[in-house]
Amino acid sequence: MREKFVQLVDKAATNHELTKDELVYVLQPETDAEKNLLFKKADEVRKKYCGEGVHLRGIVEFSNICERNCLYCGLRKDNHKLNRYRIPDDEIFETAQKAASLGYKTIVLQSGEDSWYTTERLCEIIRKIKKHLDVAVTLCIGERSYEEYKELKNAGADRYLLKHETANQTLYKRLHPGMSFNERLKRLNWLKEIGFQVGSGNIIGLPYQTIEDLADDILLMKKINVDMAGIGPFIPHKATPIGNFPAGTLDLTLRVVACARLLMPDIHLPATTAVGTIDPYGREKALKCGANVVMPNITPQKYRKDYEIYPNKICIGEKPEHCRGCIQKRIESIGRFVAEGYGHRIRSSLQG
């Protein structure tokens, strides 16, 4: 092993700081021995700060209607081949209720950017869930105004997930017609200010993305002081303008997850559905190099196939109760256990 590699991984595992150049270096192990060292150190840091419990978040994909046109995403508004749906409000609540009875302590309400869901409507759903169920609520519904975010927080939402997708501003502009990186960043700061626990995240292996970009992604999330980082591979979708580009690899995704863990030792890092889609054991592998959260699908089965962000998404043919059992078995197969409690932020004395 290169001495410099060993030293930098040790430094990152101890101080949780690296310069951009150092991070670019650590993101690129040259041998299996170096890669294994990186993964092992990330696993140790995860164990030290987050323990052996894996937090589950149940995701309800309540609307696949989207007003945006992100170049990578199957839900983009110009994809006219997709059958669009909105799950009725009562059924959203019933889905959350069922998830709570399956033991989920966090319900994630996720959708495309669908303004048909006014803040009032969303607040009503949130209030009902928070009143009747003993769960934390995470929202993942895209860009809204400061006032709207505030109302959603007041209605009882605990967390908000808004991935920055890529820290390369030129690439961001190309991939997100009509959107702006600065608007995205502004919202991440608003969400923090309003008091949400905030998740961001990025896509690995986007067309024209470099290893330097991935280092910037990690450093950006560290700077914003996110509570959670969703890191998943790019999976090309044929009905999108970039459907012919190659997918992001498992290997690169795991290296980014491991480095994210070294630099942000106490955040929540999910083993994403996308990583489970490109490799049958992708989620287990991610859990072994830094991840400590899994987000199983709790969407009623009849809607699942239409939430096609990317092709071959796992769990399309399964029911919520099946996924709940499946994921527990997978977690236990690697010697870990399903964590109890809400799994709020772990961030502690480390943060200034």
Residue 59's beta-bridge partner residues? 108, 297
Total residues at interface with ligand FES (CB under 6 A): 8
5-15 b/e (C-beta count within 10 Å ≥ 16 → b): beebbeebbee
**Is residue 296 near ligand FES by the rule CB under 6 A?**
yes
SS3 61: strand
Which run of H or E residues covers position 170? helix 169-175
**Is residue 323 near ligand FES by the rule CB under 6 A?**
yes
**Is residue 310 near ligand 5AD by the rule CB under 6 A?**
yes
Residue 232, contacted partner among ligand SF4, ligand FES, ligand 5AD, none, CB below 5-8 A by kind: ligand 5AD
> CA angle at residue 51 from 262 to 106, to 5 degrees?
100
Using CB under 6 A, which of the segments 100-108, 177-185, 229-237, 256-264 binds ligand 5AD?
229-237
Do the bridges between strand 159-161 and strand 136-140 make them parallel or antiparallel, or are there none, so unpaired? Answer: parallel
Binders of ligand SF4 among 70-129, rule CB under 6 A?
Answer: 70, 73, 75-76, 112-113
Other Cβ atoms closer than 10 A to 187: 20
194 close to 149: Cβ distance less than 8 angstroms? yes
Question: Distance between CA atoms of 337 and 334, rounded to whole angstroms?
Answer: 9
List all residues 6 or more positions away from 95 whose beta carbon is below 8 Å from its beta carbon.
60, 87, 298, 299, 300, 320
Residue type, 234: F
Residue 256, contacted partner among ligand FES, ligand 5AD, ligand SF4, none, CB below 5-8 A by kind: none
Sign of the dihedral defined by the CA atoms of residues 321, 322, 328, 332, in that order: positive
Please state the closest distance from residue 208 (CB atom) to ligand 5AD, in A: 15
> Quick one: tokens of 302?
């009849």
Binders of ligand SF4 among 207-246, rule CB under 6 A?
Answer: none
Residue 68, contacted partner among ligand 5AD, ligand FES, ligand SF4, none, CB below 5-8 A by kind: ligand SF4
SS3 231: strand
- Among 99, 203, 228, 331, indicate the residue that binds ligand 5AD (CB under 6 A): 203
Please name the residue that has the structure tokens 């109302």. 151
Question: Distance between CA atoms of 257 and 229, rounded to whole angstroms?
Answer: 9
Please state the closest distance from residue 2 (CB atom) to ligand FES, in A: 38
Using CB under 6 A, which of the segments 65-73, 206-214, 269-277, 327-335 binds ligand SF4?
65-73
Question: Distance between CA atoms of 301 and 297, rounded to whole angstroms?
Answer: 9
- Among 99, 235, 291, 315, indicate the residue that binds ligand 5AD (CB under 6 A): 235
Residue 76, contacted partner among ligand 5AD, ligand SF4, ligand FES, none, CB below 5-8 A by kind: ligand SF4
**Is residue 73 near ligand 5AD by the rule CB under 6 A?**
yes
CB closer to ligand FES, 239 vs 316: 316
CB closer to ligand SF4, 75 vs 96: 75
Site string for ligand FES, 254-293 (x = CB under 6 A): ----------------------------------------
Which spans of this chain sit near ligand FES (rule: CB under 6 A)?
A: 296, 314-315, 318, 322-323, 326-327
Which spans of this chain sit near ligand 5AD (rule: CB under 6 A)?
A: 72-73, 163, 165, 203, 232, 234-235, 237, 274, 309-310
